[in-house]
Amino acid sequence: MWLSAALRPLCVNNIYNLPVRSPSDILIMTVKHVVIALGAVLANNYDNNQINSGREDHEDGMAAWLAGMAVSGLLISNGYAGGVGVNNPPIAITDGPYIGNEGSPIPMDGSGSFDPDFDPLDYDWVFDDTNTGTGPTPTHTYGDNGTYTVTLTVTDVNGAADTDTTTATISNVAPTVDPISDSFIPSGAVLDLLVTFSDPGIVDNPWTFLFDWGDSSTTSGSVASIVSIPASHTYTGSVGEVFNGSVQITDKDGGTGVASFQTTLIASQVPEPATLALLSLGLVGLGVARHKKKT
């Protein structure tokens, strides 16, 4: 009888709606319950040994009531019991920190968040790059490297909310220069290139470029956006000579992409002037000979 009376105030204070943050809180709370209940048992035994049976029921009831009130007061003072009709706020858990590369999706997980009252929750994320997200497990892609503060706010149906933060550390990714075909041109001809590239860091501008033509000549410059880069060069040398060139493109963070190409000099496909002159004389001579034969 006395034990049920001792536990009655706990039920009134609805101990199942406890705003605990971890299993250790539940353990501590349980230990407190046990200690106080044991105290009530000892008090009851003491009463049985010290007072007559005529006062025993009254003393038992008072001891049990006082023990129950002590437990309730302890829980309330420690924030474990809110009372009937009191909404307990949810607990937000971001489950970070997160690590990834710019331009690649980063999965995030706030599903560990919970509500002590088992209320449904709304999840609102702020990714620290002007973008936001919703839901317990969003995916976000950062356009630039850096360390970002990720904030999750969970809100229950009664408007109570909690916020947790973590970090997302995003690494730079170097640009990629598309392959360049090898070329075969005669000496003195102009080689025209149109180089394309990509970069997952969409705000890694400006990008600087360096054309190394392989003959001690270079062409350099920069672009503010991801565009095709034209460049031209005139090669001179001997037939069969090979030039090993390259194109380097570097983003603002120092990431560099490289593509190589080879240029080989071949014999001229257009006859030299002297060859044209000899050919003309030969044709003239052939025409004269045919004319004489007819006459």
Answer positive or negative: Cα dihedral of 8, 10, 13, 16: negative
Q: Check whether residue 116 and residue 54 sit in a common domain.
A: no
Q: Check whether residue 29 and residue 68 sit in a common domain.
A: yes
> Is 272's pLDDT higher than 60?
no
How do 256-266 and 207-212 pair as beta strands?
A: unpaired
Asked if residue 92 is part of any domain, the answer here is: no
Give the pLDDT of residue 274.
Answer: 54
Using DSSP's 3-state secondary structure scheme, residue 196 falls into coil
Asked if residue 295 is part of any domain, the answer here is: no
> Is 198's pLDDT higher than 90?
yes
Domain around 59: 2-77
19 pLDDT band, cuts 50/70/90, is: very low
| 30-62 pLDDT tens trace | 444 444 444 444 444 444 444 344 444 444 544
The domain spanning residue 105 has which CATH number? Answer: 2.60.40.10
Asked if residue 86 is part of any domain, the answer here is: no
Asked if residue 61 is part of any domain, the answer here is: yes
pTM of the predicted model, to two decimals? 0.62
Q: Check whether residue 165 and residue 185 sit in a common domain.
A: no
Asked if residue 294 is part of any domain, the answer here is: no
95 pLDDT band, cuts 50/70/90, is: very high
Q: Could you give the CA distance from residue 199 to residue 221 in angstroms, rounded to a whole number?
A: 17
Q: Check whether residue 229 and residue 167 sit in a common domain.
A: no
Helix (H) or strand (E) holding 261: strand 256-266
How do 98-101 and 161-171 pair as beta strands?
A: parallel
How many distinct structural domains can be found in the chain? 3
Q: Check whether residue 184 and residue 159 sit in a common domain.
A: no
Tokens linked to 295: 């006459």
| 222-231 pLDDT tens trace | 999 999 999 9
Asked if residue 276 is part of any domain, the answer here is: no
Asked if residue 85 is part of any domain, the answer here is: no
| 100-142 pLDDT tens trace | 999 999 999 999 999 999 999 999 999 999 999 999 999 999 9
Q: What angle do CA 249, 250, 251 make, to 5 degrees?
A: 130
Over the chain, what is the mean pLDDT? Answer: 78
Q: Check whether residue 53 and residue 106 sit in a common domain.
A: no
Q: Check whether residue 154 and residue 185 sit in a common domain.
A: no
